[in-house]
Structures are given as C-alpha cells and as structure tokens.
Amino acid sequence: MIIGYTTGVFDLFHIGHLNILRNARAMCDRLVVGVTTDDLMLEYKKKQPVIPFVERMEIVRNIKCVDVVIAQETMDKFEAWRKLQFDVMFVGDDWYQSEKWQDIQGKFDDAGVRIVYFPYTQTTSSTKINEILDERRSQLGPAK
C-alpha cells in the first residue's frame, strides 16, 4: 500500500486545492492530508486564515479523494514523515528547488520517500481571491 501525504492551509477552498488532492490521490492508495492550524499560519505567513481551522478540517475531511485528515502543527515535513511513515509526499512546484526544499529533498531521498511536485494553479489561489475581495470592497466604499 502506497501512503501519500500533502499539506495546505486550504483557506477559501478552490480548484487549485482540489487539483492537488485529486492528483495526489491518483498516485497513492491512501492519502493523508495535513491542514495547517491557525497558529502555524499566523507564525509562518503572518496572517490569519479567513476560514477557521476546525471548518477547514471539516471541508477537507469531506472530499472523497481524501482518506485521513490531520492537523499540521509544524512546517517540519520530515517530522511528519517520522510520525506517519508515508511513501510519497505531494507539494506544489512553487517549492521546487527552493533552498529550504533542497535540504528536505536530501533527507527524503535518504529515507526512500519520493517527492512529487504538482504544477501550481496559476489562475486561482486564496491570496488572489482575497485580493479580489479587498478590491471589490474598496470599490463599494465603507459599509453603512
């Protein structure tokens, strides 16, 4: 049995999120998904998600291609591997060859874990959705 693992904030769930989850599940027998906690999001990206952690977990849990949902409480993917012993990890190609991932890639190579990089969905992201919402709110003016 091939166990796959991926993580994400999954805020303002959109087609890019669904693409990664569907593609990942097609390449493994069991897909474990780590949903980033609000605290980790605040620490890592210096912003709070729009949708609370518990609700994001519930959304991801109810996607049919996802087998197991866990809290992602650290950015240390190798620590996650120690706990879960997955065979393959799926990430967006925006991480490919970044300095941080070169070190992680080496550790996973040594452990026999394959990393699969999926194309980042250029047209849609939670950041873009938030930017569009902010722009539209500013065009409307202050709330009455």
> What residues are labeled active site?
45, 47
With a CB cutoff of 8 Å and minimum separation 6, the contacts of 42 are 48
CA distance 67 to 132: 32
Give, for 32, the enclosing helix (H) or strand (E).
strand 30-36
Asked if 30 contacts 86 with a C-beta cutoff of 8 angstroms, the reply is no
